[in-house]
Amino acid sequence: MTKESLVKMLHKRADACGSWVLLAKSLSISPQYLQDIKDGRRDPGAKLLTAIGFIRVVSYEKVK
């Protein structure tokens, strides 16, 4: 999943919760942190990813 896909999923979850603030509260993170992720200022961290059932995977590829 790309970061953009993850943010789209968060949009759907926020709609289901009723607001971004309520989503943040349900995930035990600050609304500002969630807003920063939504606006692309921060990457999702381990706490958020764990709360929504994801992990971050990093891969490397050889330059051709």
Domain count, the chain: 1
pTM exceeds cut of 0.95: no
Residues 10, 15, 16, 22, CA torsion sign: positive
| pLDDT tens per residue, range 6-49 | 999 999 999 999 999 999 999 999 999 999 999 999 999 999 99
Contact 23, 17 (CB under 8 A): yes
pLDDT for the residue 13: 96
Contact 43, 3 (CB under 8 A): yes
Give domain status of residue 62, yes or no.
no
Give domain status of residue 60, yes or no.
no
Domain range spanning residue 38? 3-51
**39 φ, ψ to 5°?**
-85, 0
